[in-house]
Amino acid sequence: MQNNTNKPIFVVGSPRSGTSILVWCLGHHPNLFPVPESNWMGEFAVNVAAAHQIGAARGDYSVLSAMDIRDDELFAAFGRAINDLILGHRKDLETKRETKCIELKLDRRWLDASGTAAGPKTRWVDGTPEYSLHICGLRKLFPQARFIHIFRDAPAVVRSMVNFHRVAGFQLVANEEEAYRYWIRTVTACLVAERAYGPTVVYRIRYEDLIDNPESAMHSLLTFLEEPYTARCLEPLKERINSSNVSPDFKSHDPGTDPAIIKKAKKLSDELQDSLQQGEASREVAENLEAEFNQRVEYLRRLGVKCREA
């Protein structure tokens, strides 16, 4: 049963690119349910790798190496445990959402669509944008996970980022330049993961296609996820959620923004608008991602040594 259900879906990409609305769209599927942004599993994967190194450091005198427990086994065990916990506590999440729905007098259509009554829902969907930077580690925890990279052009995202306080009451970024840098960092990470793992693991979708051609876009997404198509997934698109309500002609006019950063972001944005996702995975790029992951692990290990010494 675990092999059939341990297939979480991570919606990645820059914040304000449509990650939230896409999570709720998928959450209307009878086999998928949306969870709040988690933002801890990426770093957790690094900690698991570091723990395995410690547990196997002395060969037969260390429990993991003495018992031939490989790092991929340790990752998979933690991944299954996380998956089982999320599935097992689904009802608790729905109870809290029900209470909030009543308190705030919200339209309960979405609550009903994503709840237990809508279907068994054996897979969960997480829309944490920061996981764009942790796809390698998440794949270690969840080898069968699927990633959806939702891409939206840079200027539109930046407008939304700098006006995020309108909907959330707090600033997402300090200024326009930070917003451009944030977009570049997350989108670039997703593109590297696309090349590393190929379109069977990371699927790119344009925000504009989801909005302008929702039925076709959803058909493609659900085919990628190996889930049957249902028009229910289109219902959240009938109204905007979590929107910054920014006018399309809004300009921040921040004189402190580095023009080179704007140029770099717009160049990459324009290229992605016209380019198709590559059709094959690259072993070389995957190995580079693995090396970067190991660098994080080594940094964490050295930090732990310094803490113990102190």
| Mean pLDDT value across residues 16-23 | 95
Q: Residues of the chain with pLDDT > 90: what percent?
A: 75
Quote the pLDDT of residue 254.
Answer: 77
| Mean pLDDT value across residues 227-238 | 94
**Reported confidence tier of residue 251, pLDDT bands at 50, 70, 90:** low
**Reported confidence tier of residue 167, pLDDT bands at 50, 70, 90:** confident
| Mean pLDDT value across residues 169-191 | 93
3-state secondary structure labels for all residues of 214-279: HHHHHHHHHHHCCCCCCHHHHHHHHCCCCCCCCCCCCCCCCCCCCHHHHHHHHHHHHHHHHCCCCC
Model confidence pLDDT, tens digit, residues 106-157: 778 878 888 888 888 999 999 999 999 999 999 999 999 999 999 999 999 9
| Mean pLDDT value across residues 39-63 | 95
Tokens of 271: 């290229």
In this structure, whether the domain defined by 2-309 belongs to CATH 3.30.70 is answered with no
| Mean pLDDT value across residues 180-189 | 98
| Domain residue extents for the chain | 2-309
| Secondary structure letter of residue 198 according to DSSP | -
pLDDT above 60 (res 4): no
| Mean pLDDT value across residues 41-58 | 95
Give, in order, the Cα–Cα distances in Å from 132 to each of 19, 183, 185, 194, 265. 11, 11, 9, 11, 17
Quote the pLDDT of residue 5.
Answer: 67
**Reported confidence tier of residue 59, pLDDT bands at 50, 70, 90:** very high
**Reported confidence tier of residue 165, pLDDT bands at 50, 70, 90:** confident
For the chain, give the mean pLDDT: 91
pLDDT above 60 (res 58): yes
Quote the pLDDT of residue 104.
Answer: 83
**Residue of 36, 22, 9 whose CA lies nearest to 125:** 9
Quote the pLDDT of residue 3.
Answer: 47
**Reported confidence tier of residue 2, pLDDT bands at 50, 70, 90:** very low
Question: 299 or 254: which carries more pLDDT confidence?
Answer: 299
Quote the pLDDT of residue 249.
Answer: 59
Model confidence pLDDT, tens digit, residues 270-280: 999 988 898 89
